[in-house]
Structure 1
């Protein structure tokens, strides 16, 4: 499936031909906020505050520069940056031109980001000054990148701040877009470990924003405030885009290093009402002593996603914060829109009225079905693959027909997660169809890391799998077989991997065995490795 959807004239049974599906350009959300709330604070970054009118003007200025540099509708703009105002603005500048925003996880290595540049076909890179090596490697390995703009003065490219200052006051017409025009390449990995670009479109994302306001944060207005505690490149970016739709101020943490006390201080100072988190962050926030030192009574919605939360952690958080937790289950491909467990269904005490282990019920406008291997719906409480359909599902993977063929069946998107549904429609995740595990809210695909391990001259075989961890949800454990006559320590192997894959993908433990268990066909199976680890008392 191409990122650029073909619009085909058709005459449905009703007799009305549809030749196009014009929709609102998502950047219009920012313009709406600027018109309605020009003097209201839009963004807070340390001592820096920006109003909606100022932010809209800054986005126009950057969009004008990008247009002058040849960016047109459909072009891809790669963004490598930690959370900051300029990174967030780059989303709207891309949307305004009808271009596609391609954010990376700022923790990824230069080589990983270079691959994303090539895979997306990006022609422009916006990069924070803290990542000069990323620019160097991207220029070398992705020659299609013709322009680089630096956030902060840096020799790697034109200065973002100087550009905005020079072009303030210029107006850019908002590009006309249709429902299936791409706006965001949301990179996600597959079982091969190679990242794939999930194509999110203007029409799809308009539904997602509406759905988030309906299911996750009902009643949200410009009187609210939202604290960012996760990278804007992924789920947190979707969450903050939702805030713009209602004129909600966004407050950034002062650095990428998580600081629970600072987070609670900001909650008190700005009367924060919502935040998007993962279970690990929620656990860190609620177990830190500072939770009792600052006033957090303004909180209405603490939304967590990315992984299930241990029940004991959930109960502890509820006792500290009250019934403000909101869980949702979703993938980047479905932009979080699969199930929701709202605050009233989160209870701090166990009992017959509590549905333990559920990730909630279907999101508004979405349908979930548990299917067998043939695509048939299974009975309640029977395990199968969790599949979903509805307006929040991605348009497809960019330039990847093989991945599209595997991901869709009879119009249903296959999540790769296993689970069941009860008689009331509540969904329970019971396992994964793949070997992927989730560590601290981030997906980790073992094969990618295994391939890097096998580049070490002393390693002959390896298997990596996720095991439960009270802090991170899951962490990686590697079981390695050294080459004959060779040896390597756990510390040396992890040091060898550092820089070759993002740090959150590094295994936390490494065991060395003489051989890995294999099936009758000579295949290393993760199930057998897990059983062997358990037999040895290692998990």
Structure 2
């Protein structure tokens, strides 16, 4: 029996009828109503269909946040094709790899990236055609011109079933090559409902959201969820993360929700502009992608009030693992503060902590966080080896380590890949990072393990001081010595002006390691044990 479901492209059509004149998309001086956006979606879908794009075909999109990026998602869905967005900060050869690995048939590329277009065109096999987004000198056509030519043509939503793919969601590739997680129409219908239920309850067309992250990943899921309720999406006018402009837009448009990651939220809260613009309209400030350090959490709560929502979820589960709502974000430490938790299992999802054999562990015992439920993806595209590693007895293995308390609250202790072993003891960097961040001079820190001939691995900490403060190695080591066991103490402390961040706003340990090497700060290791 077939399980036909709503084509997600129908969201634009529904809103185009019911909320025709209501704003759907705001970007600088451009405002599109839902009727206008739906008309552009149909026009782009008609153009793609005229070039042979149909159900199951992959459409690769490499673009900065813009109207064409937003429209391309719904247009691709409407055709029953698969949207394959990339992070626009990737290098040309990385995008070329994503093109070939996804089997892309069409390529929509922002005009600022001619080198990426050339790399994709030179790949084998290459997409059948490339369309440029905006000004530039490459491509057989330009997306805006395609939309203008086909405006007025109506394209009906192609019938889709529950397991038909709609989106290849690339993992951030913190280790090895990025993998395409296959998201389906049925699965994403559940994800939208779950996000609305658990993250932004009560959202309607009266709400709006500011986009401060690439639409290619979590922000795109967030905007799709809000679109399902007719809420407007507002983009920053340029790809530069202008914090003052972000707060100005929040005040001007009475923005009610914001999706970001802890590092960006920290920047928003610590910038003086937060006190210069009215942000009382904010109801939900959602952060995900990594746990938020307790000291940063306290400051955000003190600045913004009880609006924080945390969720834990990988792209493979489309964010649907746990939630910590505003009511459980407590500003003061004490018996009612569940410090360090990422929340409880999301609606209709089940979370379990498992040992290396796949058995559920006892309450409070550390293991791997595993999950089942309707939000779990359909598997990695054309990657049976990765699928075999990621699923066990039907459970998706997140690769994150943690434990669960008696009431079902989950605590992440770190990535399995971040753990290092020193002198036979397992050491989890996050625990040490939390302690270092309680020092008043430290704004950011990354702890990682490095090879050592005597101990196997030893820890080093890279710290960033708050503006106007200073600290040195001896001071932080002395401060930390009273807070952690001696075997967990980092061997060295380095001080940088900033930590390297990925295109997703995270601080991958591999980037920190590469930067240590580039700065020559690993030379001292060469003499260890000699």
The two structures have a TM-score, normalised by structure 1, of 0.80
Give yes or no for contact 2:286–2:310 (8 Å, CA) kept in 1: yes
The worse-fitting range, judged by mean Cα deviation, of 429-438 and 323-332 is 429-438
Give yes or no for contact 2:219–2:259 (8 Å, CA) kept in 1: yes
For 1:126, what is the secondary structure of its paired residue? strand
Q: Match for 2:218 among 223, 235, 251?
A: 235
For 1:61, what is the secondary structure of its paired residue? helix
Summarize the alignment of residues 96-495 of structure 1 with structure 2, pairs less than 5 Å apart. Answer: 96-157=78-139, 158-189=141-172, 192-435=175-418
Going from structure 1 to structure 2, the CA distance change for 1:337 and 1:467 (only over 3 Å counts) comes to: farther
- Please give the per-residue CA displacement for 1:273-317, whole angstroms capped at 9, x wherever unaligned: 001010111111111111111110100000000111111111111
Q: CA deviation at 1:49?
A: 0.4
Partner of 1:31: 13
Query: In the alignment, does 2:523 pair up with 1:513?
Result: yes
Going from structure 1 to structure 2, the CA distance change for 1:83 and 1:191 (only over 3 Å counts) comes to: closer
Q: Match for 1:80 among 48, 51, 62?
A: 62
The worse-fitting range, judged by mean Cα deviation, of 181-190 and 346-355 is 181-190
Give yes or no for contact 2:516–2:522 (8 Å, CA) kept in 1: no
Q: Which runs of 5+ in 2 are unaligned?
A: 420-428, 434-445, 449-456, 467-495
Summarize the alignment of residues 14-29 of structure 1 with structure 2, pairs less than 5 Å apart. Answer: 19-29=1-11
Give yes or no for contact 2:363–2:404 (8 Å, CA) kept in 1: yes
Q: CA deviation at 1:508?
A: 3.6
For 2:179, what is the secondary structure of its paired residue? strand
Give yes or no for contact 1:191–1:435 (8 Å, CA) kept in 2: no
Q: Give, in whole Å, the separation in 1 of the partners of 2:362 and 2:460.
A: 29
Q: Which runs of 5+ in 1 are unaligned?
A: 1-18, 447-462, 473-490, 518-531
Partner of 2:424: none
Partner of 1:521: none
For 1:164, what is the secondary structure of its paired residue? helix
Two-structure CA RMSD over aligned residues (Å) = 2.9
Partner of 2:74: 92
Going from structure 1 to structure 2, the CA distance change for 1:129 and 1:190 (only over 3 Å counts) comes to: closer
Q: Match for 1:42 among 24, 30, 34?
A: 24
The worse-fitting range, judged by mean Cα deviation, of 202-211 and 345-354 is 345-354
Q: CA deviation at 1:161?
A: 1.0
For 1:397, what is the secondary structure of its paired residue? coil
Going from structure 1 to structure 2, the CA distance change for 1:258 and 1:336 (only over 3 Å counts) comes to: same
Q: Give, in whole Å, the separation in 1 of the partners of 2:300 and 2:39.
A: 40
Partner of 1:476: none
Q: CA deviation at 1:464?
A: 12
Partner of 1:8: none
Give yes or no for contact 1:435–1:465 (8 Å, CA) kept in 2: no
Q: Give, in whole Å, the separation in 2 of the partners of 1:413 and 1:351.
A: 34
The two structures have a TM-score, normalised by structure 2, of 0.82
Q: CA deviation at 1:153?
A: 2.8
Identify the structure with bigger relative contact order (alpha carbons < 8 Å, sequence gap 6+): 1
Q: Give, in whole Å, the separation in 1 of the partners of 2:464 and 2:307.
A: 22
The worse-fitting range, judged by mean Cα deviation, of 137-146 and 321-330 is 137-146
Q: CA deviation at 1:512?
A: 3.5
For 2:171, what is the secondary structure of its paired residue? strand
Q: CA deviation at 1:350?
A: 1.1
Going from structure 1 to structure 2, the CA distance change for 1:339 and 1:37 (only over 3 Å counts) comes to: same
Q: Give, in whole Å, the separation in 1 of the partners of 2:463 and 2:161.
A: 45
Q: CA deviation at 1:71?
A: 0.5
Partner of 1:526: none
Q: Give, in whole Å, the separation in 2 of the partners of 1:132 and 1:194.
A: 23
Q: CA deviation at 1:467?
A: 5.4
Aligned length: 458
Give yes or no for contact 1:370–1:383 (8 Å, CA) kept in 2: yes
Give yes or no for contact 1:151–1:161 (8 Å, CA) kept in 2: yes
Give yes or no for contact 2:330–2:336 (8 Å, CA) kept in 1: no
Give yes or no for contact 1:186–1:200 (8 Å, CA) kept in 2: yes
Give yes or no for contact 1:91–1:101 (8 Å, CA) kept in 2: yes
Q: CA deviation at 1:388?
A: 0.2
Structure 1 runs (4+) deviating above 2 angstroms are: 189-192, 435-439, 463-472, 502-517
Q: Give, in whole Å, the separation in 2 of the partners of 1:136 and 1:464.
A: 43
